[in-house]
């Protein structure tokens, strides 16, 4: 089952107009896109995804709601270029629901999950020729340790990297459970029982395979330039690294220049073009947490263009 995280909060945050143009930057299995399409009867929805399976499934779902949409098979990094190619230069709202969808995690052969034994993969775009198996078997020990520490915030990164290199000297590491076993052996037993020991390392490898953090800040800046006045961007993140990038980009675009900071009346030309709607990130309700444990780390931030 696909559970759309903070769906009501996302849709509310977009402040939808029935005739607006909207973008779902992360279509997935159309949980958010379905709700947007139901509400923009006179508008249009553009949805982006790299995952062919998600696109096929979502096309069928959206077609039952309306025909005022287009799914674009592309990374959201290229959103502005793709929309410009369609003569769209301004939109009324953009939604980024980052992370991995439940069906991707739950489909064994996609190799995202540390709970299921499968070939190491973790590609969002299945046509890409670079996967988790390449990272695990080809990166040197230092690079592996750096990635696991930086993207997974895993304190046993050096030990895990050392044991990966040691294990693959005998035979290539090919499956998720082979990697899980190596990770478990790389940390004290007491640290393997609090939460799943492979969670942080798998996150790090997935981020590396899909270049997730490399493209996020640039994608957000491009998205901000697309907003019409009154338009909003809603972003849901699932770990602190993503959230920090979103927070920093939003702060950059909503801050007054240092030269006028502290003035009782800041001249209009120095006021930022954007405002943050929620000073603190919105987090899932207790009800949602009880229904979907995967939403526990989610944070939602909203920014609006005002001039």
Decide if 205 contacts 146 (C-beta within 8 A): no
pTM for this entry:
0.86
pLDDT of residue 277: 97
CATH number of the domain where residue 48 is located: 3.40.50.150
> Does residue 151 fall inside a structural domain?
yes
- Residues in a beta bridge with 49: 73
Give 215: exposed, middle or buried? Use CB within 10 Å, 0-12, 13-18, 19+.
Answer: middle
Q: Which two tokens stand for residue 130?
A: 């670079």
Residues 178 and 200 in one domain: yes
pLDDT of residue 78: 96
Q: How far apart are the C-alpha atoms of 164 and 205, rounded to whole Å? A: 13
Give 210: exposed, middle or buried? Use CB within 10 Å, 0-12, 13-18, 19+.
Answer: buried
> Helices 199-210 and 212-226, interaxial angle, to 10°?
60
Decide if 19 contacts 295 (C-beta within 8 A): no
Residues 283 and 231 in one domain: yes
Residue ranges in the chain modelled with pLDDT below 70: 1-3, 100-109, 111
Instruction: Say how many C-beta atoms besides its own lie within 10 A of residue 81's C-beta.
Output: 10
Residues 154 and 279 in one domain: no
> Does residue 104 fall inside a structural domain?
no
For 192-223, how does the pLDDT look when each residue is reduced to its tens digit (9 = 90+)? 888 889 999 999 999 999 888 989 999 999 99
> Does residue 107 fall inside a structural domain?
no
Round the CA-based radius of gyration of the chain to a whole number and report it: 21
CATH number of the domain where residue 198 is located: 1.10.150.170
Question: Number of structural domains, the chain?
Answer: 2
Residues 201 and 219 in one domain: no
Residues 260 and 135 in one domain: no
Residues 231 and 187 in one domain: no
Decide if 171 contacts 193 (C-beta within 8 A): no
pLDDT of residue 106: 52
Residues 130 and 157 in one domain: yes
> Does residue 1 fall inside a structural domain?
no
**Which residue among 188, 210, 232 closes a domain?**
210
Residues 225 and 84 in one domain: yes
Domain range for 131: 116-210
> Does residue 109 fall inside a structural domain?
no
From 218, 217, 224, 220, select the one nearest 272 (Cα to Cα). 224
Q: Which two tokens stand for residue 251?
A: 């702060």
Residues 244 and 190 in one domain: no
pLDDT of residue 195: 83
pLDDT of residue 96: 96
Residues 59 and 24 in one domain: yes
3-state secondary structure of 254: helix
**Which residue among 210, 230, 254 closes a domain?**
210
> Does residue 108 fall inside a structural domain?
no
**Which residue among 210, 229, 254 closes a domain?**
210
Residues 149 and 189 in one domain: yes
Residues 84 and 135 in one domain: no
């Amino acid at each position: 089952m696909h559970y759309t995280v903070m769906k009501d909060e996302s849709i509310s945050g977009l402040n939808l107009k029935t005739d607006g143009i909207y973008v779902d930057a992360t279509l997935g299995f159309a949980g958010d896109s379905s709700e947007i399409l139901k509400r923009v009867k006179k508008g249009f929805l553009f949805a982006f995804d790299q995952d062919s399976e998600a696109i096929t499934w979502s096309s069928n779902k959206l077609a039952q709601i309306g025909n005022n949409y287009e799914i674009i098979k592309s990374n959201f990094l290229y959103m502005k270029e793709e929309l410009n190619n369609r003569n769209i230069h301004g939109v009324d709202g953009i939604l980024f629901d980052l992370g991995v969808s439940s069906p991707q995690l739950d489909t064994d052969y996609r190799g995202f999950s540390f709970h299921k034994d499968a070939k190491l993969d973790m590609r969002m775009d299945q046509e890409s020729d670079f996967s988790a198996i390449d990272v695990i078997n080809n990166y040197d020990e230092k690079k592996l340790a750096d990635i696991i520490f930086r993207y997974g915030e895993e304190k046993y990164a050096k030990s895990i990297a050392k044991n990966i290199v040691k294990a693959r000297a005998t035979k290539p590491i090919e499956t998720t459970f082979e990697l899980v076993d190596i990770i478990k052996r790389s940390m004290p037993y007491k640290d393997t029982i609090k939460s799943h020991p492979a969670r942080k390392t798998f996150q790090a490898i997935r981020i590396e395979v899909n270049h997730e953090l490399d493209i996020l800040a640039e994608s957000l800046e491009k998205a901000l330039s697309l907003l019409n006045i009154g338009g909003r961007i809603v972003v849901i993140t699932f770990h602190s690294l993503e959230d920090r990038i979103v927070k920093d980009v939003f702060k950059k675009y909503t801050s007054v220049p240092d030269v006028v900071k502290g003035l009782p009346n800041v001249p209009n030309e120095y006021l930022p073009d954007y405002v943050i709607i929620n000073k603190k990130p919105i987090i899932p309700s207790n009800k949602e947490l009880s229904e979907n444990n995967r939403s526990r780390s989610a944070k939602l931030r909203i920014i609006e263009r005002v001039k």
